[in-house]
Structure 1
């Protein structure tokens, strides 16, 4: 009580101040009366876990004074009796663009447009116009009464809004949804800091890929730290000033899918920042990894529509993953709750805001608890925004943000009457409106019938029944207990209308009216039976939650219901191709334990092993593809001539079906390379093809490589409008290498000098440059080059550059003129990774010959065969066999070109690439000679886990067909039941190649057109 009295005194002192709006003069009389309201006899949800029955909510001047039983109500208070009704804290949405200016999409490049290399943002800002750290939502916020009203009708009282433009989007503002001025609507500014991987309206060329966005964010963090410490003495930068100013705020990162979220988390871990993630609704697909990320998630409830799959050909355009997501998406929030992931809910991404409550009820039907749902819309967002003392509950001292409802906020029959925002009332539905739903005996003079009223209390549906069977839908208005009914009693005379007017007296409707002849009517509708609402939602504590199946790992067709695990495996009596000096061993056993090869010999046994009969079959090391672009979200960051700072590991996509397809061809490891759009490309990702695993489980971190490129792609001769980016000639390519490596050497020396200082007090550290840092790793022998190459003159050029600057080229890939310079390659110590017999697909390949790999090998160059193609990689064993056909290479040596040789090229031969005790159990059991066109893998094993088998494939095909059939029938039933069904669009998976550049199309231009 003392607390309440103190609060009342404080409010009394401040009431005049609030009423006057201190800094604004008022044209008129000042009204300084305190605004005091009491709402009695209500069920009050102080917060999601604190419910008080028959309680009173007392507010004064927009502040909660009390929410409890037995509250003393001061004189002069406006009292409203809410018996039978409920009061909830107003909802909070943490993902909104309310009050923000429209984002004007500009021309972002495309056919006929030259690339924009530098920022066109005027002023002392940073170099990239996608970094909008200086944007402040509180300064550009303007009231939008239409959107505010739309959100208030859903029960929201406050939203966190920000300008959704750029990779760094600046700050968000917490604003109320009142109709008052911006000065009283903005509650907190700045309230949050916002990041994404989308460049937004930036017309600048860089970045044009997710990995470029990641690198730009990474460099911005480092630049901001340098600027804070010493950079201000070098330059003035408004972008970095703002970035440093805002990083202490709650930072929200917009993710477009589950992998984007985990990618963002990786960035946050690097800079010791725990992000709040704006999710996409597919988090259930990798809930363990999402939980491990540790961040709270803003979860949208925008579920996909069913596909119209009644036409069998249309159904073929819908993937199993799309079908399963349609079924499982409503269970996303429940899955997160069960896993213990902290989350809030948002109305963002909905096609229309009216979908919010039906979709939320659907989430509850699928297992989300009502308590958690309410927390996710009130207390949790308030906690994340560090304003629990102001919003999110109805505790004493908080703002009077609350809603008044007829019943449970989650019920389909619930009526939202009023939404109060900081003590100001917004009427959604009249509190005085009576619920008249039910069945009535209708008397029209001497004629008897029925009046049946159903639907929602605020929007009833009416039906008049005459002569027992004639059902008529009348036009009805009912307001303030006065009713008007118009209907045509005889369908054969449509212009004959009976008009009734009356009022509600107790439970009876009665009054007078006229028929079509103008004759007076006395009528009455006597209440007989209350309306019983159909069951529209499931309470998970009382009814079973719908079975939506299990997620797949990965979440595509042929995915696993459980992640593959390493087994103890004994392969018996196989012909073993060791790719070692031992050569080919007949009738030999191989034992696999804990992911390693532990024994090779005859008559082996292991009590707990899975025994695989290898009689008549061939066991080889797993195939290694030195040059691949599968399983990537993007392949080229072509905005600049050097993109050494980007990392392919940032954009690995474990859901790519090509992983499974290549396992079916015996591939167990791939080097995922940057494309060839730049002289200096990005850092490679070497991965094991662990079907169903996540990115971290797939990566081989000790393999440190980078892609360089020569030739037509680098100077952009395949892009006739790209005449700005340097280099434009092959001479320029050489100069790019010299320039960047000389700068990298100086950069490295500056750090050596700094680190050698015993006393660094007052000495500024050099600016960390992740591009030059990567190149310095090459100079220091810590990172190795794989170079896209064709023409002998350019091959000679890069060897010369490397020799003159003191570094080594690890691999020339493609190298289709390698046979011309094999001696020089051997002298430099560079390996060759070649196509078997590709030629003449562009001008610089016209001298390619199918004897190339054999010639390189015979000269003594370490040689492998690669794919650079998702389809060819499925047949690399056959590509290796071409060296036997064209060059007379021994079969064992040909197999080495796709096993131990690429392992040596990748400096992983101590770990994999051959069958030897102690090495990773990366193995393929073929049903035929491994170089035969008839050979196919019976088993493909990666680190002791069976990732592919023919038996398993047959089983999966059957399961996929059964699951598709089930989901197709479910979609057809949904459409029949009235659900929205959309026609399936035709999609074609994009297979990346060296020269592909994404993300620079003009607005509205379709890919492939």
Structure 2
């Protein structure tokens, strides 16, 4: 008795007062004779589920039913655990977009009130549970798709704070929260922050990286820092599952790399294109959250619209539904989410589409129940139908993923939410219909949820039946031509239906319909659905991608004119043997052995072209121009291996490119040297073990004289200020280096210390002689050397001083008059600097110009009479020297990397075409194969267009055709979309790589 009273007393303790008489009853339900799918591995036939007070009490085939239970007969029905959505913004406020960067006034420091961190995009202190409110309408739409609980968070910022795990019951907030803080969330999107920094993807990554370091340092409670609630929260939330919204296959790898740096295993929210790089996804060892948001087909019925749609977009439309099946096949753990869907009603249809394209029923159920529950460490509460868990379950008419299955009810925390009452009772069978004095044999057949009516006579006649709860409307044909028919309405009883209506002559009648015999559905032969015929995945995922990646070969190039870019000069009728990715032998009549033989007769062989100054293959901005010093940002973080310009430049003989930060600030970001290994991922593009570089800039860009009226507050605003920024930065770096081992790690200053210690080297955007002299003097003051002055259009004025400083030059051949500070540019610049004794290179700074750097080098033969060999060296061995890689590439010499170009003509001729471009002994561009690719692309485009047209004809979802944009970055371009853009016609003959000049 004492225990009973204590139990009653405990249950009576509530903090919310009630308005009225208390209801002490405790609802208990027994669901009997059901097929119960406890989880993806366990199915019970003719079983019983008992719930009480919102919890599962028992489940099994031989369960004692409590006397107070409300018994619900579920014969012929299925019971499943309700689904879990691990990625949602349910019940949280929408995040507004910030007005930072180019479109808003500059803001350098957070304006968030309180003792929080310096950057508004770091919102680790935000807890979704504090702002969560039940949203009955949205909960209802999610319940209709089978969901019973969600992990919700505020989708705003780079660090987004914690998520809360809630049910979708229409109860008070305090009743539906199952776990207050269930997860921590991150992204590369700064969200509603109005601060300028970061304005680029590389800035977002740098901020994330620095925040991890700052949080580690903050654990020591530094007195100078005071209270930083953002960093405190950052440390506190590391105990929870860490979820990263990557939203793209390459962002997945970027996020995982950061996670690996700091010992964090992220759970990755995918973007839908990860199927394109399954080996890399598997290597992350991450659990993924896969959205089922598939792209609609573009309406390409108008040929003028069709020509602007990239093949890659059409292929993605076709292949996106294969993502979940590809993950299952690769044994990569994943959850499924309704996130990103414009209409959550499309969830189940899209899920069935994923199953048609390879996802199994078991994997689908696990991805919606057990896996998300385990990821969030809430499997003791939800995710299966086991005793003690929350009573979240679905009552269905059949197997949950069958197209004909109806979800009748979704029970959440023991509360019933009716979704469809139609078909709960199986009305199918044979009936005797009596209308006045006449009788008819009537059969209800088909799906239980929507039966059809037929009159059984000499000729079976099909009628109509509409059901609405307990009400029915019948149209019963009397004659074969259906001109005479009964129109009846009435009420459905247990075994008898009755009502009124009119007969075939329009006379009022009364009717009854009596059940005779149950419906026995004919056994359907299982349709063996053949897998849809699909396009192949290319590497990279463009028209010119490889179906099978090329491999390194032993190659003998015979009888070519070899431009060595070494002391040997030009060798006529010479063979070059490549083995194991290296140049093995140079000579005449070399034996081929097992090597592939390429006839070089009448052709010219050079070292691969090296572009010292390029901005290709960069994602979401080449500048982090929001601050004067951003040496913490890294081009290495944002390489884009899918950039078609890699392939285009291979077609122009380029094998190595130095990818630079832009020129928007005095000290920009860290650069990245890459080899153009078309089809490889970002890490595989990187030139291994090279001396790291960094981009500096001088002049108009950094003092913002060409940025518009809003940008007049960031220091510096004058050329004098530029010098002070440099002096201040290196003074701070010196102090930082001296400050001891336990200092706060500052990534900005660490890069500058590397310069002071001659471990990182400068390439500097420069034009005006006064500023060139200024930077060399600053360098002398701090005892470092400016490795390369790039652009350097007034280099001819200070070449002697540059030589004394041991600086090199990387310039344009004949660009001038495109802004004020280049008015003194002359086309003899490269020639003059070379004669003074500088190492001079010709660079592109332009994706199109890089395709003809051989011709740019040839201009110095015209302007000043430079020797042809010396001219070619400006795009081969000279940039290799400037980049400190001349011991490995840049010339044809035994032992060097086999980076080679076989030209159809003299390499400085405007008629010369790169026939084969070889990188590390692998042929990455072959002009003959390019012709085959163009034919393959045309065929594939046509096949996909026919599919899309068939989709439109079949009533499939469509969207307006829009051109695919190819972003071409330049020094001055910012990350806010202010860059030059071209239609990406990579598959079109008009932009074919066979064009070697313009």
Q: TM-score, normalization: structure 2?
A: 0.93
| Structure 1 residue 440, shift from structure 2 partner | 9.2
Cα distance change of structure 1 residues 710 and 211 upon mapping to structure 2, 3 Å threshold = same
How far residue 83 of structure 1 moved from its aligned partner, in angstroms, is: 1.5
What CA distance in whole angstroms lies between the structure 2 residues aligned with 1:431 and 1:11? 45
* 1:43–1:52 CA contact under 8 A, matched in 2: yes
Q: Secondary structure at the match of 1:392?
A: coil
CA distance in 2, matches of 1:844, 1:466: 96
Tell whether 2:59 aligns with 1:67.
Answer: yes
Q: Cα distance, 1:511 vs. partner?
A: 4.6
Which whole-Å CA distance do the structure 2 matches of 1:76 and 1:413 have between them? Answer: 35
What residue is the counterpart of 2:90 in the other structure?
98
Counterpart in the other structure of 2:591:
605
More deviation, 453-462/912-921? 453-462
Q: Following the alignment from structure 1 to structure 2, what is the Cα–Cα distance between the partners of residues 650 and 455?
A: 58
Given candidates 706, 728, 742, the residue that maps to 2:731 is 742
Q: What pairs up with 1:759-798 in 2 under 5 angstroms?
A: 765-798=742-775
Partner of 1:862: 839
2:297 maps to which of 289, 300, 306 = 306
Q: Give the aligned partner of residue 694 of structure 2.
A: 706
Structure 1, 272-281 or 991-1000: larger mean CA deviation: 991-1000
Q: Which moved more, 1:421-430 or 1:435-444?
A: 435-444
Segment drifting more, 10-19 vs 693-702: 10-19
Provide the residue aligned with 1:933 in structure 2.
910
Judge conservation of contact 1:93–1:377 (CA < 8 Å) in 2: yes
CA contact (8 A) 2:451 2:465 kept: no
Judge conservation of contact 1:114–1:723 (CA < 8 Å) in 2: no
Question: Are the counterparts in 1 of residues 409 and 419 from structure 2 also a CA contact under 8 Å?
Answer: yes
Tell me, yes or no, if structure 1 residue 693 matches structure 2 residue 683: no
Between 1:55-64 and 1:460-469, the stretch displaced more is 460-469
Structure 1 residue 287 displacement after superposition: 0.6
1:512 aligns with 2:489: no
The alpha carbon displacement at 1:498 in A equals 7.1
User: Per-residue displacement from partner, 1:747-804 (whole Å, max 9, x unpaired)?
Assistant: 01224xx3xxxxxxxxxx1000000000110000010111001111111111111111
Give the structure 2 partner of residue 479 of structure 1.
469
Residue equivalent to 2:658 = 671
- SS of the residue corresponding to residue 739 of structure 2 reads helix
In structure 2, C-alpha distance between the alignment counterparts of 1:20 and 1:397, rounded to whole Å:
21
* TM-aligned CA deviation for residue 447 of structure 1: 10
| Cα distance in 1 for residues equivalent to 2:114 and 2:495 | 72
Contact map agreement 1:343 1:380 (CA 8 A) in 2: yes
Task: Tell whether the 8 Å contact from 2:787 to 2:882 is kept in structure 1 after alignment.
Answer: yes
1:177 aligns with 2:168: yes
SS in 2 for 1:612: strand
Say if 2:200 is the partner of 1:212.
Answer: no
Distance 1:711 1:587, change over 3 A: same
Distance 1:673 1:37, change over 3 A: same
Cα offset for 1:739?
0.4
Residues 1:723 and 2:712 are matched in the alignment: yes
Select 1:574's aligned residue among 551, 560, 579: 560
Residue in structure 2 matching 1:650, options 637, 643, 651: 637
TM-score of the superposed pair, with normalisation by structure 1: 0.92
**CA distances 1:906-962 after superposition (whole Å, capped 9, x unpaired):** 101111111111111111111111111011111101111111001110011011111
8 Å Cα contact 1:415-1:457 kept in structure 2: no
CA contact (8 A) 2:397 2:424 kept: no
State the distance in 2 between where 1:973 and 1:910 align: 57
How far apart, in 1, do the equivalents of 2:2 and 2:959 lie?
Answer: 58
Q: Identify the match of residue 588 of structure 1 among 565, 574, 577.
A: 574
Partner of 1:146, secondary structure, is helix
Distance 1:925 1:448, change over 3 A: farther
Q: What is the CA distance between 1:297 and its match in structure 2?
A: 0.5
| Whole-angstrom distance in 1 between the partners of 2:57 and 2:412 | 15
For residues 583-623 of structure 1, what are the alpha-carbon distances to aligned partners after superposition, in whole Å with 9 as ceiling and x for unaligned?
11122111222211122222222432211111111111110
Structure 2 match to 1:115: 106
Label 1:505 to 1:307 Cα distance change in 2 as closer, same or farther (>3 A). Answer: same
Deviations 1:637-679, CA, capped at 9 Å, x for gaps: 1111111000001110000000000000000110110011111
Cα distance between partner residues in 1 of 2:142 and 2:79: 18
* Residue number among 854, 878, 887 corresponding to 2:855 in the alignment: 878
SS of equivalent to 1:174:
strand
* SS in structure 2 at match of 1:767: coil
**2: distance between equivalents of 1:148 and 1:913?**
63
Label 1:466 to 1:833 Cα distance change in 2 as closer, same or farther (>3 A): farther
What CA distance in whole angstroms lies between the structure 2 residues aligned with 1:10 and 1:158? 37
Whole-angstrom distance in 2 between the partners of 1:407 and 1:789: 72
- The Cα of 1:12 is off from its aligned counterpart by 7.9
Taking the TM superposition and a 5 Å limit, the aligned residue runs for 1:430-445 are 430=421, 433-436=424-427
Rounded to whole Å, the distance in 2 between the matches of 1:11 and 1:621 is 89
Matched with 1:759 is: none
CA distance in 2, matches of 1:410, 1:1007: 44
**Residue number among 253, 257, 268 corresponding to 1:262 in the alignment:** 253
CA shift in 2, pair 1:900/1:448, >3 Å:
farther
Alignment gaps of 5+ in structure 2: 984-998
Q: Report the more deviating stretch, 113-122 or 406-415.
A: 113-122
Q: Deviations over 1:776-834 (max 9, x none)?
A: 10000010111001111111111111111111101011001110110011110111000
Q: State the SS of the aligned residue for 2:967.
A: coil
Partner of 1:385: 376
SS at match of 1:887: coil
2-side partners of 1:979 and 1:14: how far apart? 61
1:323 is the counterpart of 2:314: yes
Structure 1 position 853 matched with structure 2 position 843: no
Task: State yes or no: 1:44 paired with 2:36.
Answer: yes
Are 1:405 and 2:396 matched, yes or no? yes
Which residue, 905, 908, 932 being the options, matches 2:885?
A: 908
Count of residue pairs brought into register by the alignment: 977
Is the 1:619–1:926 Cα contact (8 Å) retained in structure 2? yes
Match in the other structure for 1:158 = 149
- Bigger Cα displacement from structure 2, 590-599 vs 331-340: 590-599
Any conservation in 2 of the 1:155–1:419 contact (CA below 8 Å)? yes
Alpha carbons 1:449, 1:467 under 8 Å: kept: no
Q: Is the counterpart of residue 347 in structure 1 residue 331 in structure 2?
A: no
Alpha-carbon contact 2:559-2:599 (below 8 Å) kept:
yes
Q: Is the 8 A contact 1:382 1:388 kept in 2?
A: yes
CA contact (8 A) 1:148 1:178 kept: yes
Q: Distance in 2 between matches of 1:451 and 1:724?
A: 84
Aligned with 2:966: secondary structure? coil
User: What CA distance in whole angstroms lies between the structure 2 residues aligned with 1:340 and 1:597?
Assistant: 41
Match of 1:684 among 664, 671, 674: 671
Number of the residue aligned with 1:3: none
133-142 or 985-994, which moves further after superposition?
A: 985-994
The worse-fitting range, judged by mean Cα deviation, of 448-457 and 497-506 is 448-457
Task: Find the aligned partners of 2:543 and 2:573 in 1 and give their Cα distance.
Answer: 37
1:153 Cα deviation from its structure 2 partner: 1.1
Aligned twin of 2:996: none
Deviation at 1:29, TM superposition (A): 3.4
In 1, the alpha carbon distance for the partners of 2:296 and 2:5 equals 55
Distance 1:274 1:230, change over 3 A: same
Query: What is the aligned partner in structure 1 of residue 22 from structure 2?
Result: 30
Cα deviation code 1:822-856 (max 9, x no counterpart): 00111101110000000001111111111111111
State the match for 2:986 in structure 1: none
Quick one: distance in 1 between partners of 2:636 and 2:287?
Answer: 24
Shift of 1:281: 1.0
SS of equivalent residue, structure 1 residue 213: helix
> 636, 646, 650: which is aligned to 2:623?
636
**1:962 and 2:939 are equivalent in the alignment:** yes
State the shift of 1:456 in Å.
6.1
Instruction: Show structure 1 runs of 5+ residues with no match.
Output: 1-8, 755-764
